[in-house]
Amino acid sequence: MLKARISILILVITGFYPGMMHAAAATPDFENDQFRLHLSPRTPNQIAAFYTGRGFPPFAIDEVRKLCFITVGLRNKSNDLLWLDLSNWRFTTSEGELKRYLRPALKQHWQELGLEKRFQATFRWTLMPEKLDFRPYEGEGGNIILPRTDKPITVTASIAAGKDKAPIYDVKIENVYCAVDP
Amino acid sequence: MIITKPLHSLLALILLATISSPLPAGELPRGLITLDNSLADNFQISDYDGKHYDLMQSRGKWVFVHFWASWCGPCRKEMPIVYKLEKQLADKPIDFVLINTAEDEDTIFAFLGSVAPDLHSYMDKDGDITEAWSPRGLPTTFFIDPQGRKRYLALGGRPWDKEEYQRFLQSLFNTTQ
């Protein structure tokens, strides 16, 4: 069956040069009748403050500071299902694809570093779900973690709407930056 | 009146459905979804005073199993409403089982002290129970029926004091289980 695909391109216009991106960096939004998608790149200080406030030990704070956190918010605005599958999302720069850190690799890393299980659990709960069938009007949020880069990132997010997973919306957001501390 | 066997069976099914479903899916308040009636995984858990709880001990009553964490914004907003709800339903056959996900005693104590001092929560210290139950996010509430089956799930924080939610809650107790 041929499924309708709808492509949407969003260019994030910012008044900053990449090297000047701060906590106030552009937070791209996309909204249509089916859903609202919001991306918020987080600075190392923001991430460190969040996990320090949760009691994470200093060695874990040092680790999260090295990474590029983008908080994703997705809300189903319709009375039908909406399908999230992060394996259909791509992150690219002029140098090629940025590989997102996946849960098994993060878990292994924390285990190797000896992070307490309770902190590992909290960390998992702050990640965006890998797959989710959003019920009518349901909203979820969480972090996506990328290797840190100062290059502009293009995010391509495929989101399916409806019981039959059609149409599929391909939302392309350009000029997303890893946020840096002021 | 003669009722043919198929019609008789149909009526029996309708009656069974009426008895076992407090509200039809279409009448559920926003954010509540019907689950598959599968038996809930049992768990044992303790609170910060060392008091133990076993899900099995709530058989014969509904159970409001609520997963939360102090760092989750919607949890902060919902907790005072949960507190009022627990007081409101104190004489009803329902147990409130709040499960904090992977935070320490001081954090839980300080948080509840500021939003709902008399509310009582258990501690899922390593997050294992939360992992096994796989709530869709925090907060999430499961409604377990008196037979120990997963019946409903509430997505995120819900305004339990609003009329449509009150009607849903009352419907739990109006049915023969």
Q: Which helix (H) or strand (E) holds A40?
A: strand A35-42
CATH number at residue B150: 3.40.30.10
Q: Which of A118, A136, A138 sits opposite B102 (nearest CB)?
A: A118
Q: Tell me which residue range forms the domain holding B131.
A: 24-173
Two tokens at B63?
């159970």
Q: Is residue B2 part of a domain?
A: no
In a domain, B6, yes or no: no
Question: In order of start, what are the domains of chain A with their CATH numbers?
Answer: 5-176 (2.60.40)
Number of folded domains in chain B?
A: 1
Residue A163 has pLDDT above 80, yes or no: yes
Question: Is B4 within a domain?
Answer: no
Instruction: Report the mean per-residue pLDDT for chain A.
Output: 88
ipTM above 0.90, yes or no: no
Whether residue A9 has pLDDT greater than 90: no
Phi first, then psi: what are they for B97, rounded to 5°? Answer: -120, 100
Q: Is residue B7 part of a domain?
A: no
| Per-residue exposure over A160-170, b if at least 16 CB sit within 10 Å of its own CB, e if not | bbbeeeeebbb
- CA of B134: which chain A residue's CA is closest? A125
Residues near B71 by beta carbon (within 8 Å), at least 6 away in sequence: A50, A53, A54, A122, B103
Q: How confident is the model at residue B10 (pLDDT cuts 50, 70, 90)?
A: very low
Cβ atoms of residues B97 and B57 within 8 Å = no
In a domain, B127, yes or no: yes
Band of residue B48 on the pLDDT scale cut at 50, 70, 90: confident
> Under an 8 A CB cutoff, do A122 and B127 touch?
yes
Best residue in B28, B30, B75, B100 for a mutation probing chain A (most A CBs within 10 Å): B30
C-alpha closest to that of B139 among B97, B109, B106: B97
Asked whether residue B153 is assigned to any structural domain, the reply reads: yes
Give the confidence band of B73 by pLDDT, cuts at 50, 70, 90: confident
Tell me how far CA of residue A83 lies from CA of A28, A86, A89, A169, in angstroms: 20, 10, 12, 10
Cβ <8 Å between B126 and A122: no
Sign of CA dihedral B158, B161, B165, B171: positive
Residues 6+ apart with CB under 8 A from A71: A39, A40, A41, A42, A141, A142, A143, A144
Structure tokens at B119: 């509310």
Of B133, B160, B70, B137, the residue nearest A76 (C-alpha): B137
Question: Could you tell me the pLDDT band of residue B117, with boundaries at 50, 70 and 90?
Answer: confident
The residue with greater pLDDT, A63 or B50, is: A63
Best mutation site among A46, A107, A123, A125 for testing chain B: the one with the most B CBs within 10 Å?
Answer: A125
Does residue B83 fall inside a structural domain? yes
Summarised one tens digit per residue, pLDDT across range A69-110 is 999 999 999 999 999 999 999 999 999 999 999 999 999 999
Q: In which band, very low, low, confident or very high, does the pLDDT at A10 lie, cut at 50, 70 and 90?
A: low
pLDDT of residue A25: 53
A99-153 pLDDT, tens digit each: 999 999 999 999 999 999 999 999 999 999 999 999 888 899 999 999 999 999 9
Is B9 among the domain residues?
A: no
Nearest CB to B31; choose among A53, A124, A137: A137
Cis amide bond preceding A167, omega within 30: yes
